[in-house]
Chains A and B, each alone.
Chain A
Amino acid sequence: MKASNVTLRCWTILSTVLSLGLLVFILGFVYIKAQGVVTLNFILAKPAGFPVGSAGGIWPAIAGSLLVTLIAALSAGILAFFTAVYMVFYCRSPRFSLLLNLIIQCIAGIPSIVLGLFGYAFLVIKLELGLSLLASGLTLAIMIFPFIQIRLQKLFQETSQQLLDAAASLGVSQAYTIFNLLLPLYRKQILSIVALASGFAMGAAAPVMLTGCMMNAPVPKSITSPFMSLPYHLYVLIGQGISLENAYGTAFILMSLVLGLNLLAALPTILRMRGKP
């Protein structure tokens, strides 16, 4: 009896240590190996050398990744916000709401590579957007939309009914309640959810490689130009054996940006924990 309890605890504690250790290993691996590669010049220069990428920097990839993430976060954020508002404040039929939830769950289930195929066939070819920043951004937006929507809906549903009743009994309109009560109340959480989703969008290579991302391109001038992205650049550097050193550098920058977004997303929680004695 005692022995099996001890075994169980050993198992659970070991698993936890192992899971947490994995992150330390991954961070350590990339950050130690990237030392010396990441300089200001590496960040700000264009890729150079032959084959392209074996020398020089990765600035176009950084800019491309940031821009495509911005487009994705904006469009997915707006779509998800209004969908969540509808489901929580306007939809009165529980059956319809169940159906909508199921649909959004299904969108969440579509693998990113298939979204890439869709972006290619529909946005790039049918809508004639071409291989472009816009097509990639919208494809990524579809990918992160369910992630944002599900969390926003949960957030709105947890609003205290008392607060909403008080607003309603003052004769205030639904829209006024949403913009003057809900938005200020949840501003930080909404931003944190969108930041987390942006991290996912920035790291995704599969959807962008089919819809507008190139092996070598300048910093995009407009939303209709093709671009470079960090994850795809990393894939090309390592997959075609161009430069292991620059691959470490690219991985370092990509990971730092994604971790930065994660940290931004965790900020409200951290601040709240600080506030507590």
Chain B
Amino acid sequence: MNQILEKLVSFLSRLFTALSAILLFLVIIFIARESLQIFREVNFFDFISGISWNPLAREPKAGILPMILGTVYVSIVAILISLPIGIGCALELAALENERLKSFCTSVLGVLAGIPSVIYGFIGLLVVVKFLEKNFLLAAGESILSGGIVLAVMVLPYIVSSAAETMEKSYKQYKEPSLALGVSKSYMLRALILPNAKGAILTAMILAFSRAMGETMAVMMVIGNSPILPQLLGKGETIPALIALEIGTAGLGSLHYHALFSAGFVLMMLLIFLNALLYLIKKNLTENLH
């Protein structure tokens, strides 16, 4: 009986591990298969660098450069806004001695990370977009800037938790020597922890960037969604928004359908690359610390 159970668990754990490994390849192969067909009609370079998107016209145009730029643009705006705040908050958390207060702060950030993206989009539309319309005298507040602001709030908890984790380790490492030298906490943060946190800041940035680029709903609700080259105060469109908005009306197997899959494929490969990079950098960092 026991041996059967042992065999069963061993078998199941192997089976499910194989399944989860296959999953990645299945996703990549399936998205690739559905997207490759478009390159019979449009060449890959034109697809990446074309600036007009009109796959339903008699002479279909499928260029996703505006969407690629839009995705990168909102993500950069988001990181520029949230990185200073996130790193400041991470420094404070790393040096917090009161365990209860610290765990309260981490759980608040956890809740912030858990709020559904539609709700961020909803509040962004009612607050950020309205604010921009009133104060910047824009005809429509839906813009790259409002997308960036909403995304900044969404990636903030990721920046804080990722950076604070590493900073806390180095804080613990230097705490006693600093105390022994009679150095103040502020001085220690400024002269020791912050300069030592380059790796932590880099990983936090990559993590936030990949989160921001893959976000669909929140951005889609506040960015205006027109496939034009993005400007800070003008409308734009991101790749996830393009897919979410148009896949419902794209006929199965049509050029439009395949073009949307190719756009997804480009985004996926970019993000998988970023995540693998992140994993390897993190692994190096932790090994260097020990």
Contact = CB atoms under 8 A, between A and B. Distances in A.
Interface of A: 1, 4-6, 8-9, 11-16, 18-20, 22-23, 26, 29-30, 78-80, 82-83, 85-87, 89-91, 100-118, 120-122, 125-126, 142, 145, 149, 173-176, 178-179, 196, 199-200, 202-206, 209-210, 231-232, 234-235, 238-239, 247, 251, 254-255, 258-259, 261-262, 266, 269, 273
Given A83-B16, A109-B274, A205-B216, 16 more contacts: A5-B184, A8-B189, A12-B189, A20-B105, A22-B156, A30-B123, A86-B13, A91-B17, A111-B267, A114-B243, A174-B10, A176-B5, A176-B6, A251-B122, A255-B115, A262-B114
Interface residues on B, range: 35 or more
Contacts of A203: 114-119
Contact of B88 (A14, A200, A258): A14
A206 B241 CA distance: 9
A174 B6 contact: yes
Given A173-B3, A174-B6, A113 B190 contact: no
Contact of A19 (B6, B15, B112): B112
A203 to B, nearest CB: 3
A15 B105 CA distance: 12
13 contacts: A1-B187, A12-B189, A23-B108, A82-B12, A82-B17, A100-B21, A109-B275, A113-B214, A173-B5, A174-B9, A176-B6, A205-B217, A238-B121
A235 B26 CA distance: 30
A249 to B, nearest CB: 12
A12 B210 contact: no
A105 B276 contact: yes
B110 interface: yes
A113 B240 CA distance: 6
A150 to B, nearest CB: 10
B105 A16 contact: yes
Interface in B8-39: 8-10, 12-17, 19-21, 23-24, 26-27, 30-31, 34
B92 A15 contact: yes
Main secondary structure of the interface of A (DSSP, over half): helix
B153 interface: yes
B23 A107 contact: yes
Given A19-B112, A175-B8, A206-B217, A113 B118 contact: no
B252 interface: yes
Interface string B100-140: 10010101111110111111011101110000000000000
B243 A117 contact: yes
A127 to B, nearest CB: 11
A149 B20 contact: yes
Contacts of A102: 276, 279
A2 to B, nearest CB: 9
A107 B13 contact: no
Contact of A105 (B26, B184, B279): B279
Contacts of B260: 117
Contacts of A254: 116, 118-119
Given A20-B105, A176-B2, A15 B86 contact: yes
Contacts of B189: 8-9, 12
Contacts of B89: 12, 15-16, 18-19
B268 A111 contact: yes
Contacts of B108: 19-20, 23
B80 interface: no
